[in-house]
Every structure is written in C-alpha cells, then in structure tokens.
Structure 1
Amino acid sequence: MNFEDPDNPDPDQCRGENAIRPGKKDTQVQLVISLALGLSAFIAFCILRPRWKSLYAARKRHSNPHLGLPSLPDSFFGWIPVLYHITEQQVLSSAGLDAYVFLAFFKMSMRLFGSMFFFAAVVLEPINRHFIDNTKSSEIFLFRPYATDYSHELARRSVGMEKPDGDQDNSFNRNMGYLWSYLVFTYFFTGLTLFFMDRQTSKVIRVRQDYLGTQSTITDRTFRLSSIPEELRTKAAIKDLVQKLEIGKVESVTLCCNWTEIDKLMEERKTILAKLEETWSVYLARAPRGATESGPNGGGDDGFRGGASSAPEVVDEEAGESDHLLSGDETQPSERQRPRTRFWYGFLRLQSRETDAIDYYTEKLRRVDEKITAARKKKFEPVSLAFVTMDSIAACQMAIQALIDPHPGRLQTKPAPAPSDIVWKNTYATRFSRRIRSWTVTTFVAILSVVWLVPVAFLASVLSICTINQFLPSFGEWLKEHEIARTLVQTGLPTLVVSLLNVAVPYLYDYLSWHQGMLSQGDIALSAISKNFFFTFFNIFLIFTVFGAVTSILDVLRNSLKDTTYIAYTLARKIEELSVFYTNFIMLQGLGLFPFRLLEFGSVAQYPILRMGAKTPRDFAEMVQPPKFYYGFYLPTALLVFILCLVYSAIPGGYLVLALGLAYFSLGYFTYKYQLLYAMDQPQHATGGAWRIICYRIVLGLVVFQLTMSGYLALKKAYTVALLVGPLFLATLWYGWDFRKRVEPLTRFISLRSIERPPGEGGGESAIMDGDGAEAAEQREVLRRGSTVDEDREKGLRFVNPSLVAPLEQPWIYEDAPPPLVGSGAGSSPGNTPGRGTPTRGTGGIGGGSSNSSSSVSLGDTHIWRE
C-alpha cells in the first residue's frame, strides 16, 4: 500500500482506517513527553512521600503491626531498595492472596518479555537487518510502516478471487528464506509464553493451596447452599440434611431471609445520622463572640489530610450544653444561632413548617431506632440460600466438591465468600431476579460495546491530518510547517485520549457489575475485570485494527464471509500500520502514567474538593482512610499491553515493543507493590481467582498473535509458511480447553491433601508432601509464623446480616469517635438510651454521659414537630 505522506496527504486515503498515520518524529516526541511526565511525577512522589504519610503510607498506618511489613526510610530514594527486598511471602502475609496473584502476573511478564527481548534482539533482528533493507528494519517500524504494497492482495481477497497462477508461493524462494524465521519464532515465542504461564500457574496454585489449607477462618469452613426447596428452609432441617451426609459436623447454619425491611431502615438511619451530624457541625461552627475556636486536627505528621474537626469550646462548661439548648436562657441563642430546617407533612406532604434542625433530626433518629429495634425482633420469610459452617475445612471442601441432591438445580453448593465480602441485599433476591439482572447488564454491556464504536472511530479519524485539512485547512497548513506540533495532534492526542478512556470507562463497568446481582464483592471484582478487558480488547484493539472505522465494519464482515482468511490479512496489515500508535500507547502507559499512579494524582487533585466539602468529624475520618485498590481498574490495561507485546514480538522491529513491554511491567510491578503494601486497601476477597482470568486472556493473546503472523506471512505470499501456523493455533486452543479441565478447579477449591489438620486428626504435614514437599513445608513454616491477613480480617466475624446485629452508632460530634449506643445490638431498645440529644464533651457524640434515665430529655411531638 502506498502510504500517505503526512506532509501531503492523499484525499482519497482520508478515511477512518488511515486515521492515525505515523510521522518521522512521532516516537521521539512521545518518548520525551512520557519521560517528562514520568520523571516529574516520580520526583514529586519522592518529595511528598515522607511529608504526606497519611496518604502515601495510609495502609501501613492502619494495618496490623504484627504483619511484619518493614517501614520505609524517609530519604529521597532510600525506600526503593527496601521495597525491592520485600519477599513474596511478605506480600502474601501482609496483603493477601489477591495481591500476590496480581503481582505474580507482572513478575511473570517481566521474565517472559525479558527473555523474548533477548532472542528478538540478538537472533531475529539481525536476520531482518540482513535480509531486509537496513533503512526499513527498525527505523521504519518506529517512524512509518513498511511500504509494502498490500492493496492488490486485499482487493483480490475482498472480492473472493482465488490466487492467480502467476502468484508464486514465496515460501521456497531462497531470497525470501528469512520468512521461515518468523514461523520458527512464532512457535518459539508461543512455547515460551506457555512455559512461563504454566510454571507460574503451578506456583500460584501451590501457594494458594498452602495458604488456604493452613489458615483457619470461618470462611474456609463455610459453604453456600442455594436452591433450597421450601420444605427444607429451616436451620434444623438444613443441619439435619448435611449431617446425614456423614462428611462432618455442622457448627452453625445461617438461613438467609427477606431482610428488605430492616436493610431499608438501616439505610434510612444512615442518612438521618449524616444529616444530624452535619447540622451539629453547622451549629458548633457558629461560635459565640469571644469564644475560643479549636481548628481541625492536623491528622499527624504531614497535614495532607486533616483529622476530625474539633468542636469549639463552650463558654460555660459547668452549665453544660443541655442547659443552653433547652433552658429558657435567652442569652445563648442570641450568641449562637441554632440551625433551622423545613419539613413537609399532611395530605400529600403539601404542608410545611420550619423547626429546629437539631431537635428535628434527633427525633427522627430516635423514631427510626425504635423501628429498627422492633424489626430486629421479627421473623422474616426465609429464602432459598443458606451459609453452612462445618467443624473442619475438609468437611466443607467435601460438601463443595460433591453433588448433594439427585434433582437438577437443587441444593447446589459453592464456596462461601467472607462475611465482610457478602452483598447481603442480593442474598434474599430470587434466583430469577438475579439472573434477569445479570442478563440485562450483559446485554447492556454488549450494546455499549457497539455504542463505543462511534466515539472510538471518531477519535480515530478526527485528529488525522486528512480531517484537519478538510475542516481546518489553515490549521493543517500550519501543522505541515511544524512537525512536532503535527506529531502531538496526530499521534500524541489519540494516544492520550485512548489512555483517558481506559481510566474513565472502568468506573462505568464497575458500577454495572455492582448491579448485576452477585453475592460477593470478590465476584463483582472479577466480573469488572472481565467487562473492562472486553472493552479494552474489543473497542481499543479490534476496532483500531481490524475495522478501523464504523463505516468499514460491514465491509470487513462481508468480506470475511466470502473469505475466512480476510480478517487475518486485515489484522496483519493494520497491526503493521498502527505500530507507532501502539508503541506510543505502551510508552505513555508505562513511562508516563505509572509514576502518576504512584503519586496518586487523583487523590491529590480531589483532596481540596473533599476538604472543602468535609463538615463533620466522620467526613474528616473518612478522608484519612486508605484509598481502595480495584483490580478491575488496572488489570485489563496490563492484559492489553501483554497481548500487544505478543502480537508485535516476531515482526520486524518487535524487539523495541518488547523492550517497552519489559519497562511497562517492571515499573508496574514496583508501583502496584508499593500501593498494595503501603498505600491502598483491597475491599474485595477473591482468593486469587483473577489468575484464571489472566491465563485465559493470555491464551487469547496467543491466538491473536498466531492469526497476525499467519496473515503477515500470507501478505508476503509465503502461503505454505502461513499454513504451518495452523497446527500451533489448534494446539493453543487445545491448551486452553485442557486448562479449564486440569487447572481451573484448583483455582476455585482447596484440595483435601492441602488441608493441614490439627495433630490427632490424622494427616498433618505428611498429608501434603509430594514431589515439592520440602518447598511446600518451607512455605507453610513461613506462612504460619503468624496469622494471615485474612485471619486477622475475619476475627470475630460470623455469617449474619449486619443490619440485624450491628450496634447503632451515635452521632459523631466532637473529635473522638463516640461509642455505640448502650445495648443497641439485636433485641435491644436504642430508644431507651439515656441522654439522647445531649452532647457530652469527651464522648464525641450524643449521650453516654449519664446513666440516670431521669436526665434524658423527651423530644416528643408536642415539643418539636408533628408528622
């Protein structure tokens, strides 16, 4: 194809497929931009890290000190060696299995692409330089695709024509013999990838089995029993059913019920509590003239995040706050005005009146507490889901991995999520409704994938020189004279916009995953990974390569129906055309944006807004909590980069992409290692389930790599060599199918031989010894030096809806957090708690100062408001 000259674009080629056209300085300019962004962010992080520890060491400051995580020095670069020497076992014991698996993918990628880079640079690239024009081997790859005329080949295939007799097979042309090296390296790189993946999979499985088999948590002994028939929906019936299986003793049964009423009341209470705290903060901020104001607590040693806001001092401490609030003294109200609010009542809530806001929300809180107390005493209708806790992990695993009932779809068992990981409102949703929600979200995601074609294809064409010359000719003429500016507009901006899409879109798909009806946050996290990868792979990769533009989608599909190899031809051609774009994309993601993730630029940018919006001590306390680390936001982009490195690995100049891939995964490993260990918390608990998702996506990447190489060789008219990629393609598909049968169950369950039984029960260490027994024993010794992070997280937890038993929080008024209401657990009466509505200095909240019920203040309808 005769590619357009960026300085003199051909109007006939100004279509979406020619949108991102490389120029001579595109990669150099992108490298300078990426290094400038990355180095500036990294230096800023090194400066701010010791000063803003409440942000950059938030997790370390809130985590258990017994986890043994080393403290990082405050020196400029001194933290790097300490972070480097943190072992995998320390990662496992302090951050958990999900963090270990996530970092294991980056570590495996570093080793894989380091090895591939060596062979591509030392063996394959010299072959290319010898047989291909030296000016086209690496220079043209970076600055402009090969000027190979593929147009006639694609035109011939698009109309379904067969190969003409004069079209000679170059497979056995001695001058084209170097094409066999591409076939060899396609096989070699595929085998190398599967070798590294298989070895890392074996290690992940071994670590996972040892980790889960040695710990003892309520989650490991509990399984989820679903599709329970109505006649068995009692705790006694379920317990009797399981114990008759003779697999172990049942310790407890949590039968899920329709808790809609109590959950809604708790949500209502949360809203009222926030309103009351905000009202108090407004009132206390209106200090009387001459009173001493105490500003917000600095929150420690840095000042990035403020602590809880301290309350202003009361002028007359002996009189007490209640005397000023409720006595007939007219002096205090004139000095500190109490906030007012308007509420609506009567028929259709058409009448309103204004009243004291503190008393209004205090009374509303008291009334909803009474409703919660009454609701907690009710019996709710059971549903078809239960959590059954056994006396041992082995008994639980036998129940999970066995068929319980001979009727299809009844009494199905699955591993239970951690109690803190359960989305309780979905436990009492019917299976039909959850399935409908799941299919609805899936359909919506599919529709979104088509909708995304419009903005993605628009971005792929609007920033091209062709489009600019058409709509802004004067600006296009100016760009012709300024090559660096043209590079920024034509290649830099699309790369940046695609990167921003990768940042923004995951929030939407994470929101959709939360509304899909899944029972645990871990399942939601894995679903978000799959959805975001689908967007990244389909819209960012396939649309930019195979289709190029919305208008060409139908053409590609129509031609592929006539000739099944058309997609392979198109993929190979577009991969070569878009080499600069994807090179710049990897460069920007790795060198430019990883330091910004380390800097937590989003948290820093949001802080002034959150600080201005924070009013209550609870708001300030939430600001100093560690940010949340969501794997669905970061893993899909890493998987796309992995696939891009595979796709470009064996074509001329591919060693440069492999070098950038090595840099990407190296920087990503240390960035995420720091964040997972020191800065951010993981709300989900998926027990390393992301590894099977990673492996399936790697297999997909290998399939795309092989299709690309087959099409690339066919475009070189080496048809025999192209056909010889076929067996490798089939072998890769077989490997993926075999992985599903052989490996996937070990990423979901705990093998019985991996379970460490207490002495006296039989088995013990000898039960898990095999060929890797010494290494397994060593790992167990390291793991059991202390409790795992999951054991610490689950201490004292049980499978019960928090709405039924959670203590009711008092309003948080002053700096220190108040204790929960006395006796506010299940079956208590929070309405009888003394001192309601009377802030007491030192407790941080309302009440708690007096145990004499006569000191409580009645705020009934006649005193405050009427509904």
Structure 2
Amino acid sequence: MPPFNLVSGPAKLVLALLLVQHAAAQQAVNSGASTSTVLSSIILNAIIFAILFAVFLLARPRFKRVYAPRTYLVTPQEQIEPLPQSLFGWITVWLKTPTTTILEKNGLDAYMFVEYLEMMLWVFGPIFLLTWVVLMPVYGAGTTGEGTGFNRFILSRVGKSPQQQKRYVAPLLIQWIFTLWLLYNIRSRMAKFIKLRQEFLVSPQHASSAQAKTVLITGIPNELLSEKKLRAIYSQLPGGVAKIWLNRNLKELPDLYDEREKCINKLESAETSLIKTAYKLVNKGKAQDASASLPTTDLEIDAEVADQYVPKKKRPTHKLGKIPCMGEKVDTIHWCREEIARLNKEIEKKRSEISVDYKNYPPQSSAFILFNTQIAAHMAAKAQAHHEPYRMTNRYVEAHPDDVVWANMNMNPYERKIRTAIGWAITVVLIIFWAVPVAFVGIISNIKGLANDVPFLGWLNSIPSVVVGIIQGILPTVLLAVLNMLLPIFLRLLSRLSGTPTRSAIELDLQGRFAAFQIVQNFLFLTLISGNAGQIATYVQQVASQPGQFPGLLAEAIPKGSLFFLSFIALQGLSGAASLFAQIAGLAVYYVKKFLLASTPRKVWHIDHDTGGPAWGTLFPSMTLITVIGTGYVVIAPIINGFVVFTFLLFFLGYKYLFLYVYGTKPASETSGLFFGKAIRHLFAGLYVEMVMLTAIFFLAQSEDANGGNKKQSAIPEGAFMVILIVIVVGFHYFLNDSFKQLETALPLTLTTGSTSDAQLQGNFARTSGETAYTEKKALAGQATSSDETAPGVHADANGYGLNGAGTTTSEKHHATVPGLTEEQESAFYHPSLTGEQKPIWLPNDKFGIGRAAVASARKAGLDATYEHTSVTDKGQVETDAYEPPGEPLV
C-alpha cells in the first residue's frame, strides 16, 4: 500500500475530513466571533477524532493486513509481537513498548523520525506550561491593546502606555529561556543521533554487508573509465578493491527490456481475463463445464482448450496504433507471445554485441566500486579523487542496486550541474510565485476583513454568518491541502531530472526543497496574508520601495495571523492524528485494489504482500512546518504552544504505532538517519525568523500618553538583548555544524579498531539480512528450502544487497571471481537490461485447464512460464500462496 502522509501533499483523507469541518477561524482581529469559531473547529475535530479512533478500535482486530502487517509479512527478525485482540487491552502493551524497538525492527531512519517528534515534545512541553502561566496573564490582564477572544492572549494586546510597555520584559525573558532550552535539546539529540548512526555503521551485521563497502562514483572522465585504471587509483586504500562495475552506454537495450516487461504484464492480464470470462460464462450457464474430463498432464491438454468456453469474439484484443483506438486490431494473447519471443531474441542479440563491442557501447561517466573493507569505502567517498574540477566529485557510499536511478547513471558532470541549476531556479520560482494561489487561500480565510477594506466587496458583509464561517473555515484549508498535494510530486520530479542518481538522495534533496517551500510559503507568506488581506497592495508597494521594512511588516502581521494557524494545528492534531490510526484511505484502497485490480496472480500477490512506507522527503518537512509555526508564535501568541504540544503528542503516538506495526523501511533506501540531521538544521530557519520578528517588534514598539501624543520608542533594551541572543544562536549554529556536520556522513577510524562492544551493537541493530532469514521466512510460507538451497539475492557473508536475482550475460557466466560473491551478486550493479532474464509469465491454475494450456503454449514458443502456487475460486477470483512472485526475488 502507498505511503499515507496526513500533513503534506498526499493527505487524501484530510480533504474528506475538511469537507465536513465547520468554521475554522475568523481572521478579523477585532471580531468577537474568533473565539467561538475556533472553539467550534476544535469541538468538531475532537468529534472526528473520536469517530476515527473508534473505527480504529473496532477494525484493528479484524483487518490485520491493514493495521498490523509487520506482525507477519516481514522477515522473522523484523516481525513484532502481535497486540492483544481485545478492544482496549492492547493499549497498555503498545504504550509500554519502547521506541527503541523501532530501531531494532525498522531501522534508524524510522527511529530518528519518532525521535524528532519526541524531541519536539521535550522542547515545547515545559515552554507550554511556562508561557501559559507567565505570558498569557501578562498579555490578557489589564491590557488595552487590540484583540478580543483568543486574540486577548497575543503580544499586540500590550497597550501603548509607558506602564504597559514595560511588560515587554516578560516575552524577552521567555524568549531567552525558550531559545537556550531549544539549543540544549538540539545539541543533546544531535549527539545521540551521531552515536546511534556510528553504532549502526560499525555493527557487525551491517559492516560485513557489501552495501556498507560499495561506493557509487559519478562524473568519471573517459580516460579513467576502465577497471584497470580505477583499480590502480583505489587499490591504495586499506584492503583494496574487490569488484568494479562500469556503467555503459547501452543505447536501445534498456528500452527493449522495458518493452518486454510491459508485454509480459499485458499477456498475464489477457490470459487471466480469458480465464475469468470462462468462469463467468460457465456460472451463467452459457458454456458447459468440461473440467471433469480434463487430462491429468500438461502435455495432454489441448492448447486451444479456452475455445471450448470462450467464443473468439470475447477473447482479449487491442489495437497496435500509437494513438489509442487506432491501428490494426490483434488478438492480445497471440500478439504478446510473439512479441515476447521476438524481444527475447533481440535482447540476447544486443547483449552478445555489448559483451564484445566496447567501441559502440562504451563505458560512460560512472562506476560502482566494491571494496574489501568498510573503511576503504568511506575513505574513497571522502577523498578528493581527481585533480580537475567536477571530475569524480559526487560519491555515494552505501550504494544498493535497488536504490539506483539507472536513467541518471550516464549523465556527465557538466550536464548534471546545468540541470541542477535549472532545477533549483524552477524551485525558487515556484516558492516565490506559488504565492499567487496561496495568497488567494489567505484572502479567503479573511474574507470579512477584505470586505471591510475593499469597498466594492462590501456586499460580502450581507452574507449569513454561517456561510461566511464555512467559506473562511473550509475553503482555505481544503485549497491549501490540494496545493500541497501537487507540489511535492513536481519537486521530486525536478530532483530526478536534475540527475540525482539514487532514490534516497532524491528524497534527501526533496526534503530541502519542500522544507524551504513550507517555511517561505506556508508560514511566512500565509502569515502575512491571512491576517492582513485588505493591505496586500500596501505591503507589496512598501516592500518594493523599501525592502528593509519587510521584517517590521511581518512582525506586525504575525499576531494577526495566529488564529489561522491555531485552527490548522488543531486540525492536524485531532483529525490528522486520528487518521493515522484509522487508516481509512489505506483500508479503502486495499479493498478497492483487491476487488477491482487483482486481475493476475502477480497483482494479487503484490496487493496482499506489499507494505506501505514513508515518503521521507515530504514527511519530515510536514513536521518542520508545525515546528516553525510553534517556534514563530512561542511568545507572540503563546496559546498556540498548548496546541503544538498536543499535536506532537498525538503524532508521536500515531507514528509510533505505524512504525511498529504498519510501515516498513527497506534496507536499500536506508540513509542511517540523514533525514534527521537535515530536519534539525531546518529548525534554525524557523528560529531565526521568529527572533528577527520579535526583534523588529521590540525596536518598533512606541509608547504614548493617554491622548496619543508624546510617542517614543519604548523597548530599545529588549531589542538589544534580542540582537545579542541572535548572535549567540548564530555562534551556536556555526559550532554545531563545525562539530557534527562531518560526523553525520563519516566513519571515524577510531570506530574501526574493535573497541566498541559487538554484543551491544548486535542488540541495537537486529534487522534481518542473509540466507538464514530467507530460509526462515520461506518456511513460514510453507515452502521450506533445503539446507543447501541458496536464497535468491542473499548471501550471509558478503552481500547486504537484495539482488534482483537476475542471471548474467553470456560473457559473464562462470566468472564469479570475487570470493564470497555468487554469480548474481557479481552482476548486481550492471544495468538490469544487461543481466535480467525474462520474467516468468505467471498464470492462474484454473479447473478448466486454460492456464495450464497457456503455460504449455508459452513454453513451446520458448518463453518461461508457470502456474505454480496459484488457484481460482468457483467465482473466478484469483488466489496465490506463493512466497514470492516468479522473477521477483524478495529483498
């Protein structure tokens, strides 16, 4: 099932919830209705939370596939004990399960995400209590500034009299306390992260894997693109080089390979459709069931047995034209068999040419290097390899074949630099000009204020308050969710088109792009717009003529926009977190796929066995947005702090459950926590924004007498102390990067001496890999292997790759020259089109013998086909009990 992220773009269920949400928050600062609308929003979201959590309580024991797939669908060492089936008895067991279990069962990336949420609880928890006890009375008691309802508790409530202006000392002190507390937590959590990452890297299980010893190097000049020359360079490192894979210009071969894969899938769908049609006709009495006289052996089955049940006019057909519904009409089954046979011959011919023709199919731009020691791989990744600019500068340690974006392997460094520059230019343009639709969202959230400030929109004041509440409460958040859903898809595409060579690197790149967008657009710009819709033109003119006024304008706007974000956080904390538990979309998608898309054994298997996983590139920035909102309003609108704590608490509980029982992270995409380090650095962006805004508020603050005269600046000392605090944070930021930046990606030599306790490391990191886990899991599926059967793509001593189990080219067979590597592992980093054998055509074993006859016909045509571990029910539904799909070894 696909990942389901409730805060960022792919939050499909949130849209449905928003459609029933009533009046979220009215942004007109002086409107007394703000309190009632926000309270209405909170109450409604609390009801939604209760309903969704009740759904979860009732559905959890009945739908194990959706709510607890990690209790049986993963390898034994990764499985977690099932929770009790009782309605409430499971809660105590779940709460008592330590978060370190996520580290042991699901990897460091998943654990560090939950650690991030826990960190936010530690940061905002004490501050929430402190600000509610200190700042809310300071702002709300005996003040004469603007604001009613919830807006009584914002910084702008402090009056203009000299006596009230002295109250600015309180937010200054709280700001210092919060900042120092945040910096302390950042320092301690980063130290913990570095320690855990280093323990993971040198743990015996990981350090002995081939993934830990493999480096991808891109931008290799043509004169060095040979195994001999690369080996001469890198053999100087400890232990030397074990194996080198050069990427080559394969021209049309990858397209032929992809075309064959499409034809196989098309043939499987057509054959299965034919079988289902036969069942429908027999069940309706339009065809006679002759299964009783079916021969017992495949050789005796009539190749045209399907004709006994399905007339020719009902056989699957399609048209060959490139334009849909155009071109010659052909029988899909016959055409696919002929096409696959043709492609098999064409692919083998191309492979034979490639194996001997290095002139027309030359090595190009990149290579994978497997070292004999882990430290050599890390030294290769850190060392400057070439004396010229842009040559061999991009090096990726921990390379895994399933993480590779093969289309980007042959890109030269100059092309990649240009693509990257263009990609970031487009990203910056998007971040800036996305303001247009977001501005529209912000204007809608303050439609009353707009009606008061723009004369020709005065008619909006005559609209009933219920309708206005719906427009201001529902439409802004729905539109914002839709916009956020589309953007990450495009940003991920930009990263891929920029030439990023691995999927994990694409997610890391996306995290940076999307976090920048969240901070600039969904916080800064929306803050400016949501509380000041009627002054947009004035703001634009002022910033254009005097850019230095922007901090002051933003500082003035932040208090006015607080209720919009108060409603947003309430929505995420209640409806969003409850949806994490309920998994309504996941449940619906699973059964929709099961009944509408489960057309072939292969599709049925994937629907039943594929588990969802997180999209880190959007999930972390989604949490970053909530953190930045909390940081931005920590002293300016302290009432938000309580909502932030509650939201992070619910998300912590929700994601703790998901990463224990539902979501899985694949070793191929494991970054060992690098997303956490980037998320920590993004915290500083929000902190800097908040400090600059508060500094501007202090320097712009003016006191005046009762008649509005005798104005003078009243908070210069407070502003000066904020400047000092900013300098302290900048210094801390510098030393934090100086201390930890290199350690995030390095393998220190001191850790390779064996001084770390192996027993301790083994206990912390027990994720499964290797031949033993393969045999154990297969035995659970009722398909036990013999003791000498080799697990496909797994080697206990030397791999760590889940290899694609593909064969080798003719020229490579019987050439496993590296000790400890199988033939499949020897070809792990060759392009799949160069090594992948034809995926077996997998058809259902029906009682009429249609599937068996189709398999026999395919084999007669020289194609690999099977019907093993499949069956068809009397209603025509396809079932399978296979451990893995043919041609797709589990990794």
How would you bin the TM-score normalised by the shorter chain? 0.7 to 0.9
How big is the shift at 1:282? 1.7
Tell me the residue number matched to 1:155.
none
Match of 1:724, as an amino acid?
F
Moved more, 364-373 or 227-236: 227-236
Alignment partners' CA distance in 2, 1:840 and 1:213: 43
Q: Residue 601 of structure 1 is aligned with which of 580, 584, 598?
A: 584
1:53-72 C-alpha deviation (Å, 9 max, x unpaired): 11222344321112352222
Alignment partners' CA distance in 2, 1:360 and 1:53: 41
2:833 paired with 1:803: yes
Map 1:8-87; keep pairs closer than 5 Å. 23-67=34-78, 69-87=80-98
Moved more, 176-185 or 498-507: 498-507
Equivalent residue of 2:386, what SS? Answer: coil
How big is the shift at 1:179? 1.2
Equivalent residue of 1:615, what SS? Answer: coil
Map 1:628-777; keep pairs closer than 5 Å. 628-651=613-636, 653-654=637-638, 656-682=639-665, 684-717=669-702, 718-755=715-752, 763-765=753-755, 768=756
Alignment partners' CA distance in 2, 1:253 and 1:531: 34
2:407 paired with 1:432: no
Map 1:545-584; keep pairs closer than 5 Å. 545-546=527-528, 556=539, 559-560=542-543, 566-584=549-567
State how many pairs are aligned: 754
How big is the shift at 1:372? 2.1
1:6-41 C-alpha deviation (Å, 9 max, x unpaired): xxxxxxxxxx99699772312201101211222211
2:105 paired with 1:94: yes
Contact 1:260 1:425 in 2 (8 A): no
Map 1:249-398; keep pairs closer than 5 Å. 249-287=240-278, 291=282, 314=291, 316-318=293-295, 326=303, 331=308, 334=311, 337-343=314-320, 353-377=328-352, 378-379=354-355, 380-398=361-379
Alignment partners' CA distance in 1, 2:456 and 2:571: 29
Change (3 A) 1:672 1:784: closer
Match of 1:686, as an amino acid?
T
Change (3 A) 1:127 1:832: closer
Alignment partners' CA distance in 1, 2:451 and 2:47: 28
Alignment partners' CA distance in 2, 1:329 and 1:639: 58
Contact 1:272 1:361 in 2 (8 A): yes
Alignment partners' CA distance in 2, 1:83 and 1:659: 25
Alignment partners' CA distance in 1, 2:473 and 2:344: 60
Alignment partners' CA distance in 1, 2:620 and 2:93: 25
2:239 paired with 1:209: no
Contact 1:583 1:657 in 2 (8 A): yes
Tell me the residue number matched to 1:153.
none
Match of 1:599, as an amino acid?
A
Equivalent residue of 1:743, what SS? Answer: helix
Alignment partners' CA distance in 1, 2:292 and 2:469: 67
How big is the shift at 1:292? 6.7
Contact 2:267 2:337 in 1 (8 A): yes
Tell me the residue number matched to 1:824.
none
Alignment partners' CA distance in 1, 2:79 and 2:586: 27
Alignment partners' CA distance in 1, 2:836 and 2:194: 37
Q: Residue 224 of structure 1 is aligned with which of 198, 216, 221?
A: 216
Equivalent residue of 2:842, what SS? Answer: coil
How big is the shift at 1:330? 7.2
How big is the shift at 1:430? 2.4
How big is the shift at 1:130? 5.3
Equivalent residue of 1:510, what SS? Answer: helix
1:662-705 C-alpha deviation (Å, 9 max, x unpaired): 11111111212222232123353222111221122111111011
How big is the shift at 1:840? 6.2
Match of 1:393, as an amino acid?
Q
Match of 2:337, as an amino acid?
T
Q: Residue 437 of structure 2 is aligned with which of 428, 441, 455?
A: 455
Equivalent residue of 2:34, what SS? Answer: coil
Moved more, 726-735 or 181-190: 726-735
Match of 1:681, as an amino acid?
G
How big is the shift at 1:748? 1.6
Moved more, 330-339 or 398-407: 330-339
Contact 1:247 1:399 in 2 (8 A): no
Contact 2:71 2:81 in 1 (8 A): no
Equivalent residue of 2:364, what SS? Answer: strand
Q: Residue 509 of structure 2 is aligned with which of 520, 527, 533?
A: 527
Alignment partners' CA distance in 2, 1:134 and 1:547: 21
Contact 2:241 2:371 in 1 (8 A): yes
Alignment partners' CA distance in 2, 1:107 and 1:351: 58
1:638-663 C-alpha deviation (Å, 9 max, x unpaired): 11111111121123x50x21111111
Moved more, 40-49 or 130-139: 130-139
How big is the shift at 1:550? 9.6
Q: Residue 605 of structure 2 is aligned with which of 617, 621, 624?
A: 621
Moved more, 274-283 or 405-414: 405-414
- Which consecutive unaligned segments of at least 5 residues does structure 2 have? 1-25, 356-360, 703-714, 771-793, 804-824, 847-855, 872-891
1:261-282 C-alpha deviation (Å, 9 max, x unpaired): 3321221112111211111122
How big is the shift at 1:349? 14
Under a length normalisation based on structure 1, what TM-score does the superposition of the two structures give? 0.79
Change (3 A) 1:575 1:550: closer
Contact 1:37 1:593 in 2 (8 A): no
Change (3 A) 1:38 1:564: same
Change (3 A) 1:474 1:183: closer
Contact 1:513 1:528 in 2 (8 A): yes
Tell me the residue number matched to 2:807.
none
- Which consecutive unaligned segments of at least 5 residues does structure 1 have? 1-15, 151-169, 294-311, 756-762, 769-775, 817-829, 846-867
Match of 1:435, as an amino acid?
K
Map 1:86-165; keep pairs closer than 5 Å. 86-129=97-140, 132=143, 139-141=150-152, 146=156
Contact 1:453 1:550 in 2 (8 A): no
2:801 paired with 1:794: yes
How big is the shift at 1:317? 2.0
How big is the shift at 1:778? 7.4
1:784-824 C-alpha deviation (Å, 9 max, x unpaired): 667579999635654333332234212221179xxxxxxxx
2:536 paired with 1:538: no
How big is the shift at 1:531? 2.1
How big is the shift at 1:499? 3.9
How big is the shift at 1:836? 4.5
Match of 1:569, as an amino acid?
G
1:146-200 C-alpha deviation (Å, 9 max, x unpaired): 56799xxxxxxxxxxxxxxxxxxx8xx5553321122222221111111001100
Change (3 A) 1:44 1:516: farther
Equivalent residue of 2:626, what SS? Answer: helix
Identity between Structure 1 and Structure 2 (%): 21
Equivalent residue of 2:383, what SS? Answer: coil
Equivalent residue of 1:725, what SS? Answer: helix
Equivalent residue of 1:40, what SS? Answer: helix
